Amino acid sequence: MKKIISLAVIFLFVVSCSTVPITGRQRINIVSDAEILPASFAQYEGFLKENKISTNTKATNELQNVGLNISKAVDKFMRANGMVSEANSYRWEFNLIEDENVNAWALPGGKVVFYTGILPICDNIDGIAAVMGHEVAHAFAKHGQERMTSSYGQQLGGIAVAISTNNKDPKTQTLWNTIYGIGSQVGMLAYSRTHETEADKLGMVFMIMAGYKPQEAINVWIRMSERASGGAPPEFLSTHPSNETRIKNLKDYLPTAVSLAKKYNTQ
C-alpha cells in the first residue's frame, strides 16, 4: 500500500507539473478549470447575494475601471503567448463590498472582491491598481487550483504516515502523526507565502502594462505597515510575508517589472 501511494504521488507530480508564466516557477496542479470554475462562479454569486454591495458609485466605478484595464493587460499577455483557451475561460468581475475589513481577494476564473476597508490603504487610483494587480495575479497564476492540489497531497501524506506506523506502538504512532501535522502545516504556510510573493511580482508587471505607477505598489505596503498594530507572528508561521519583506521584494523587483511590462506591451 505504501508503494502504491508513493507511486501515485510520483505519477501526479510528473503529469501535473507546469510552469507559471512570467515568473517561471514550477507548480503542480491536478485541478482542471472544468472542475473548479463552475464552483468558483457559483460561490462568488452566493457571496454577493449574502453581502452588501457598495452604493458608492464613484468608488465602484473607479474600482471596476481599474479591474477592466488590468484584466485587459492580462488577456493581451495570454493571447500573445499561446494561452488563448485560458484567456477565454476567465469571467472577469470586480465588486466593492461594504465591509470595514482591510481585505481584497480573488477566486479562480477572475472573480474579484474589494472591501471598502482597504480603500484608505489604496489611497489613490494607482494604489487600487496595485492591490487589483495582486488579486488578478492570483487568478492568473491559478493559485487557488494549486492550493487545492496541495491539500490533496497533504491528505495522501497523512495516509502514508498512518500506514507506515500501523505496526508501531501507540506512542510512536502519536509522535509521528504529530510531527507530520506540524511539518505539513508549516509547509502549507510557506506555500502561501510563495503565492503572495509571486502575486506581488506579477501584479506589479500587470499594473505597469495597464498604465499605472508601480511605485504605488510599494507605497501600499508602507501604508499597511504604518497601520499595523500589535505584534505580528513570526514570518515563518504566517501565511503572508511580513510588510517589510514585501516592501524590499517589490523595490528589488521594480526594474525587472518595468522591463517585462515594456516587453509584453510590444507583443
Q: Just list the catalytic residues.
A: 135
Q: Which residues pair with 114 in a beta bridge?
A: 96, 104
Asked whether 204 and 23 are in contact (CB, 8 A), the reply is no
- Any idea what the Cα angle at residue 218 is, between residues 241 and 27, rounded to 5°? 45
Return the closest-CA partner of residue 154 out of 133, 185, 190.
Answer: 185
Cell (9 digits) for 93: 468581475
Contacts of 112-118 with CB under 8 Å at 24 or more apart are 112/67, 112/136, 112/139, 113/44, 113/47, 114/63, 116/54, 116/56, 116/59
- Answer yes or no: are the C-beta atoms of 136 and 73 closer than 8 Å: no
Burial status of residue 180 (CB atoms within 10 A of its CB: 0-12, 13-18, 19 or more) = middle
